[in-house]
Structure 1
């Protein structure tokens, strides 16, 4: 019998990935809202998007067997509302917010894994006395600030001085309400403790600086069972906070990965998160042998889909679809054609610039042909401004992504260099 799965923000690349999953021969995938509405914009009218989605679902002449997504805010926070209304599987809104509301998340973590989280406090960026109040919470320079509802690495800043804080505050005041106001709507739909409700969507977090070797544990919860299934290394450019590439499988020692998996089971069970995928970002401080939990994301990492397919034989969208349909995920290990795989981010470190040249489709195809199985996505158009790109960190712009696999990590890096020699981007009006 045909199963109907509605995918919020479905694009062509992910529609193709979905056809290669296991056990989808009887599944029909339906797009629900467009990528332009949910990921290619900074304007999130959540009530309007929910109303449009409900209109599509209400008029559908057939069974609604699953409603899923693979995108961060606002998709992740809309899913529990839609799934509850239409009776499909997903985590509850409250358990999801215990991950996505960064202050609530840290408070919950402090109850069961206090030794794995940094000092933290919430603050209002529109409060002129915010810096003094952060000091009263026993946070000293350096510390890190980010929105209470972060999206990617957007509006995250390392603060080493009052001048850094003033710069970050200026940026936060200018841009944070684009996420804060729609997030407030989501918060209004949830049952929350009074002390958490007082920390509104435009608030920010200040946290002790933590660091080390960064990784992401991908996992899911099925009927109360927490299952970590893969760890991906997050490798940064030297001396900056921007990511250079993601590497799967992780090169961290097995004993460290085992401890991270135990922490993962503890916190996700405590939160009560169930029947949905997630990932948790960690640091391992090799010098002190300290493991820090950075944050929990209530979705699979879209960037890791091709990595799992190359190494394990199937994209971990398998997890999202199976859980949405109420099935235990059929996620293999080590059945792919490659031993290692990575996503590389080609970045430029400008404050802004105009894109004066981009590779043609033919040039991108030639570059990809340098290494079998390579896929390249270019994110910019000629004459566009880098500052128009959505979901960028505070220190660079990701111009393109390159996914590829290899027999070992050193070969993977060499392959990337060969591909990039064939890609030519140029910029004018550069703001250093």
Structure 2
């Protein structure tokens, strides 16, 4: 983005602006000419069962009262943020992709219907009848499989099941919790002209998909004036024998011919969905033994989890693309102009419940970051907090900290992570 004088500063309203992302937003080229305004808090957006009409009214109250130009409305979170952006952008004349294209990405069942029109690189899938007294897997979908709501936060209520007993237990949990996100999502569906295959499906639908395995990889890019650009691919490595992320690592270590396949499938799918003027992230599994590639899901936003990784390796955080598209500027990303050859975001997790005892102070964290170059640490829980009461967790673990590392090799990244974990010295007062 070109530099501007302070008098020409642009007002950027960020839905769900958080302290963790503010430094990387302020690190984009030309950031001195941008003023970032928070629009709705994380608690308002993700606490309990959200009311989309209420959120729209609150956001409009802030924007209508603002004495200045509204130059962009952006965000890097999933529903409801992803859907609020096109709704508010339409009203205030800012740039975004269409609401329909966002929903085609986020509604997992509709997204699969769109994907299968242009690629066979997807698992067998189908709907599960949550109203049935004796729910069964969809015809043709075999165990092991994943059950997940059409819409959820951070793999919430997503369960891997291997037999009918696990299937029924997962259905029971999904039935109990699906309305928290599914019911508000139906308000969004009511604003869209749905195709015949989506009539009666709604937002509170459960999807079953055959389990896919291999190396998990994410592709990030954007669409501008119908042209799809992919600027990076990242590997996601899980904790051993779990479905929980240990780290995201950039750049991907997959062979070039596999990366080219990822680009091809991604371009076809994003064009089919009608996505434009926005960033995206598409997740895949690649099995090196069978060379089979399967699309996992499409996110209608770039990943804020990857911002530091692009900054470490390419020299610019990926927020740059989101902001440039929203302002009508050139979203081109530099390539390998950062200080490190590779980077990772690590998820320090706990796999049992407990009450957090000691947590490091801001001064402790600043000291840890000073001790080792290319390190940034965000601690998730607070002292005295029970892990099971944390929001936005997957079904199997609790996130204690996010640790970003930049280095010359995987060994270097691992050494920096291990040092940070030891230095954090998190303690627990009790566990079951």
Q: TM-score, normalised by structure 1?
A: 0.95
Per the alignment, in what secondary structure is the counterpart of residue 422 of structure 1?
A: helix
CA distance in 1, matches of 2:35, 2:417: 36
1:96 and 2:102 are equivalent in the alignment: yes
CA positional deviation for 1:428: 4.1
8 Å contact kept, 2:145–2:160: yes
- 1:148 maps to 150
1:337 alignment partner in structure 2: 339
Determine if the alignment matches structure 1 residue 408 to structure 2 residue 414. Answer: no
1:121 and 2:123 aligned: no
2:374 equivalent to 1:373: yes
Matched with 1:389 is: 390
Name the SS of the counterpart of 2:243 in structure 1: coil
TM superposition shift of 1:195: 2.8
Moved more, 22-31 or 137-146: 22-31
Whether 2:79 is the aligned partner of 1:73: answer yes
Residue range with higher mean Cα deviation, 186-195 or 24-33:
24-33
Deviation at 1:128, TM superposition (A): 2.4
What's the offset of the Cα at 1:151? 1.9
Q: 1: distance between equivalents of 2:214 and 2:162? A: 18
Counterparts of 2:367 and 2:67 in 1: how far apart (Å)? 45
Deviation at 1:84, TM superposition (A): 1.2
- In the alignment, the residues of structure 2 paired with residue 291 and residue 284 of structure 1 have an alpha-carbon distance, to the nearest angstrom, of 5
* Alpha-carbon separation, structure 2, partners of 1:58 and 1:120: 44
Taking the TM superposition and a 5 Å limit, the aligned residue runs for 1:104-183 are 104-113=110-119, 115-131=120-136, 134-135=137-138, 137-183=139-185
The 3 A distance-change label for structure 1 pair 126 and 358 is farther
Cα shift at 1:365: 3.0
* Separation (CA, whole Å) in 2 of partners of 1:196 and 1:300: 26
Q: Which of 10, 25, 37 is 2:17 aligned to?
A: 10
**Does 195-204 or 337-346 show the bigger shift?**
195-204
2:195 — aligned with what?
193
User: What's the offset of the Cα at 1:311?
Assistant: 0.6
Moved more, 118-127 or 387-396: 118-127
Q: By how many angstroms is 1:190 displaced?
A: 1.2
Correspondence for 1:317: 319
Deviations 1:194-215 (A, max 9, x none): 3313112111110011111001
1:22 equivalent among 29, 32, 39: 29
> What secondary structure does 2:86 align onto?
helix
TM-score by length of 2: 0.95
| CA deviations over 1:40-68 (Å, ceiling 9, x no partner) | x2331111110010111122222221110
Q: Secondary structure at the match of 2:296?
A: strand
Q: Distance in 1 between matches of 2:348 and 2:20?
A: 19
| Separation in structure 2 between the aligned mates of residue 259 and residue 197 of structure 1, nearest angstrom | 33
Listed as ranges, the gaps of 5+ residues in structure 1 are: none
Instruction: Kindly state the Cα deviation for residue 12 of structure 1 after the two structures are TM-superposed.
Output: 2.5
CA distance in 2, matches of 1:54, 1:127: 41
Matches within 5 A, 1:258-407: 258-350=260-352, 352-407=353-408
Shift of 1:400: 0.6
RMSD: 1.4
Unmatched 5+ residue regions in structure 2? 1-7
Q: Output one character per residue of 1:106-146: Cα deviation in whole Å (capped at 9) or x when no partner.
A: 00111110x20010001233432321xx24x2112211111
Q: CA deviation at 1:298?
A: 0.6
Residue 417 (structure 1) aligns with: 418
* Distance (whole Å) between structure 2 residues aligned to residue 17 and residue 315 of structure 1: 6
* Kept in 1: contact 2:374–2:407 (CA 8 A): no
8 A Cα contact 1:370 1:419, kept in partner: no
Paired with 1:126 and 1:154, the residues of 2 have a C-alpha distance of: 20
1:208 to 207, 210, 229: 210
Summarize deviations over 1:274-298 as a string: whole Å, max 9, x none.
0000000011111110111000001
| CA displacement at 1:88 relative to structure 2 | 1.1
When residues 383 and 24 of structure 1 are mapped into structure 2, their CA distance, relative to the original with a 3 A threshold, is closer
Q: Secondary structure at the match of 1:322?
A: helix
Contact (CA 8 Å) 1:122, 1:199: kept in 2 or not? Answer: no
1:86 to 82, 92, 102: 92
Q: What per-residue deviation string (whole Å, max 9, x for no partner) do you get for residues 216-258 of structure 1?
A: 0001001111001001110000111100001001111111011
Q: For 1:294-329, what per-residue CA distance to the aligned partner results, in whole angstroms no more than 9, with x for missing partners?
A: 000011101100000011111100011001112230
Q: Give distance in 2, aligned partners of 1:335 and 1:152.
A: 31
Against the structure 1 CA distance between its residues 63 and 313, is the aligned structure 2 distance closer, same or farther, given a 3 Å change threshold? same
Deviations 1:305-364 (A, max 9, x none): 0000011111100011001112230311111111101011110111x2222332333333
1:386: Cα distance to partner?
0.9
Q: How much does 1:429 deviate?
A: 4.1
Secondary structure in structure 2 of the residue aligned to 1:262: helix
